[in-house]
Amino acid sequence: MAGGVTGGGSATWSDRFEQGLHPAIERFNASIGFDITLLQEDLDGSVAHARMLAECGVIESAEADQLCSGLEQIRTEAAAGNFNPGLEDEDVHFAVERRLIALLGPVGKKLHTGRSRNDQVGTDLRLWLRRRIDELDPQVRMFQIALLRQALDHRTTLIPGYTHLQRAQPVCLAHHLLAYVEMLERDRQRFQDVRKRVNLSPLGAAALAGTPVPIDRRSTAAALAFDGIYANSLDAVSDRDFTVEFSAAASLLMVHLSRLAEEVIFWASEECGFVRLSDRCATGSSLMPQKKNPDVPELVRGKCGRVFGHLQGLLTMIKGLPLAYNKDFQEDKEALFDVVTTSAQCLEAMTILIEEGLSFRPDRLEAAVGSDFSNATDVADYLVARQVPFREAYQIVGSVVKQCLSEGLLLRDLSLERWQQFHPSIDADLFDALAPRQVVAARLSEGGTGFERVEEQLALWSDRLGLTNH
């Protein structure tokens, strides 16, 4: 039997094999159903490889031209929906090679000189992920812009600040929203940092040990816009740490999306009523006609589990693999593809939600910050300014709060005379200090919620994100 090019049930790998795969094993073994996603990257890598082979004198320039022309024809066929490989092709690499041989004949068989599917798939996957990172970055930035616009609209609006989900201190709503802008900036930085390690070429490492074919790895790396090459051929084909690292960065992005989603759900509840959800971003109940459900943030919160699960799956998949390549690596693609897709979808949905899906209710927020004891710390600070040791001031205010709770009063409801019973240094100016707006305004430490500091941060982020005319 003449040796075929590829595996599958109807062709042999080489003359070493006498039978094709069992049909069930063929289905089990094949990855073409999902790694066809890498088609464009496989074609890009193959074009660069063919050109390099000609530059190095391994094949004729005319042969390289034929190979590149054939590869571009496959690209055109795919764009027209006319490239539809089946199970017998096993994976995207074999599918391309088979079609190339069908188009070019024996010349097509020369493309795989000096490489293996091991370094080929590693190259494809890195090219694919690099593009996805480059697409994610502006998405994260757009979400930051959506948050910033809300912050600019609410630069003087107050909102209760919580610790342990208990009212703690009032803060500026813009300050609260800018906290997420800061988190997202670190997410962008993490993705860019991952990109540096993604952007190294394994092409030319071959199966595991390099190749005796006189190739130029740096030529293909430059042609594919990689920053460099893997220094060790075993390392080049035997690790997927970059998929784990990206999934970890995506998981942190999802954490931040989920935290904001949880707050929106809380804010939209009847118990809070801090925001209204628009009809464009909420659904109703099939039974209860009055309901408007926060589906978007709930789904984002739930989809975190998918991304976290893929991260754990990737870690588990690679933890026990000996050098070098193992078939286990086939399991990295669906996980990575879904991490990218889910993260991008959640980013888009949350951006729309913040842009047009909710509106804050300043009246409810103002009422909330004026109806609790979140100004208690400011009484302690007031006493400290009058030379009362902080711990003593802390105890005094605790006694005042206890008394107010027993009488159903707020701190502002106590008369000056009663305040002075707790400490004689208290004067009428305490009541100004207790006003929520003054409580916020007074926090002028760098990074604090004081309105002056918030304005500085709004100006900084407006400049960074290109909203200087807002």
Name the nearest CA neighbour of 363 among 273, 436, 268: 273
Integer Cα distance of 126 and 145 in angstroms: 29
DSSP conformation class of 418: H
- Specify the pairing of strand 358-360 against strand 275-277: antiparallel
Catalytic residue among 14, 164, 406, 445: 164
DSSP conformation class of 280: G
* Residue 195 near residue 249 (C-beta atoms within 8 A): no
Question: In the structure encoding, which two tokens stand for residue 384, read together?
Answer: 């400290």
- The answer to whether residue 285 is catalytic is yes
Helix (H) / strand (E) element for 359: namely strand 358-360
Catalytic residue among 61, 269, 285, 425: 285
Question: In the structure encoding, which two tokens stand for residue 326, read together?
Answer: 């193992």
Name the nearest CA neighbour of 129 among 339, 347, 351: 339
Name the nearest CA neighbour of 226 among 110, 115, 129: 129
- Specify the pairing of strand 200-201 against strand 228-229: parallel
Integer Cα distance of 276 and 361 in angstroms: 7
- The answer to whether residue 462 is catalytic is no
Residues with a catalytic annotation lie at: 164, 285
